[in-house]
Amino acid sequence: MKVLIVEDNPEKLASVQQEVSSRFSDFATTIDAADCLSEASKLIYERTYDLIILDLMLPFRHGDTPTDVSEEVLDLVKGSSNNQSTNAIALTGFDDLVDTRIRSFAEAGIGLVLFDEERQQWKQTLALELEKVKAVPAIDFLFVCALEKERQALKHSGATLGAPINYRGLDCISVEIGKLRGVCVRTARMGLVEAAICTAKSIDYFNPSVVAMPGICAGFDDETKLGALIASDICWEYQTGKWTDEGFKMEAYGVNMSPEARSEIATILAEDPTGSRYKDGLFNDEVSSSTIQLAPSTSGSAVVSSAEAMERIGTQHRKVAGLDMEMFSVYQAASSSQRKPVFFGAKTVVDLGDAQKNNHLQTPGSVLSARFVVDVTKRLAKKNFKS
């Protein structure tokens, strides 16, 4: 939990810090402080916070006379790309500011609390606002799965899974990887639309630093083999484009994996291109002899069980290796999010998109993918998670 308190009165700052620390005693909490608007602006635009508490009477710069900065506070919090969705509370000792600003702050989603050191009522009001923040679980990473077997495979990855919960309509299971805390959310249905909605809502609610999608997929036999693990370097939707009398003309639009994740995966491939460290106990011939590929993939909402359809889709990109039903939406939602998480996805090829579905590969393929995704997440934790 990372908190910023903007307050120029040292006694008031100490009181607010004490209340925040006591309310979040069960979280690892870091508190930054600023005593003027210019210093606060620098921190808000450069860093990402889980909670911001601001006074409304502040000096613009060190040594200036405090003045009403209500309008500036609204613009500052909502204008920062890092903190547009951050929980914010305004704390002021002036009744008239509360009376005149409460509506505009409520419309902006900012709680407004009247500070009165003598009456101490402010502590109860602030406590109610802090409980709203505390109700949102603080997590390090988010996994998105379309199938329950993909999610359950995490049990064989070194991660610890908690009990299923329904959080704001999302099908969630808590996941712990050592000291890292995360959530694995399963989409309500397979397909791009559900994946986009689920991922966007989850990022907004949980504010993860890393978003990843493990699981299984189909493969294009010219570029991959059964049992191969494909980390999606770039992903697009093969259904986007235009149908004409001459046929379908695809609109070329893809989303690249986060560069931080790509660099980490490239390092893994250089160290262990077969992914042998992830295959302990996986005795299926295709999986045990497969490689890891950093390659393009494509997504669409339809189940593909046709060699002809796979050939047609494969002509959209000469190097496309994998096909699934959700990856593009996960990438797009993460890429478009104001929270800017690091994101990647990796799925195991369990069929070639033709009529010959290989169900026997689904379980070992899910486990292979889960182990890889967990390992990459741990590696990224050392470099990209917020402190």
pLDDT digits (tens, 9 = 90+) for 276-334: 999 999 878 888 889 999 999 999 998 898 898 898 888 888 899 999 999 999 999 99
Q: Which residue has the tokens 């329950």?
A: 148
What average pLDDT score do residues 11-25 get? Answer: 85
Backbone angles phi, psi at 89, to 5 degrees: -135, 130
**pLDDT computed for residue 138 by the predictor:** 64
* Domains in the chain, CATH or no CATH each: 2-134 (3.40.50.2300), 141-384 (3.40.50.1580)
Whether 135 has a pLDDT exceeding 70, the answer reads no
The chain-wide mean pLDDT, for the chain, equals 88
Higher pLDDT, 42 or 109: 42
pTM exceeds 0.85 for this model:
no
* Amino acid of residue 64: D
Higher pLDDT, 101 or 214: 214
Q: Which residue has the tokens 């990459």?
A: 376
Whether 241 has a pLDDT exceeding 90, the answer reads no
The band of 155, judged by pLDDT with boundaries at 50, 70 and 90, is very high
Give yes or no for a contact between 214 and 370, defined as CB atoms under 8 angstroms apart.
yes
**pLDDT computed for residue 387 by the predictor:** 40
**pLDDT computed for residue 27 by the predictor:** 58
d(C-alpha 135, C-alpha 386), whole Å: 20
The band of 384, judged by pLDDT with boundaries at 50, 70 and 90, is low
**pLDDT computed for residue 386 by the predictor:** 45
The band of 78, judged by pLDDT with boundaries at 50, 70 and 90, is confident
What average pLDDT score do residues 246-272 get? Answer: 90
* Amino acid of residue 154: L
What is the percent of the chain with per-residue pLDDT over 70, rounded to a whole number? 95
**pLDDT computed for residue 246 by the predictor:** 80
Whether 156 has a pLDDT exceeding 60, the answer reads yes
* Token pair listed for 140: 């390090």
**pLDDT computed for residue 96 by the predictor:** 81
d(C-alpha 81, C-alpha 85), whole Å: 9
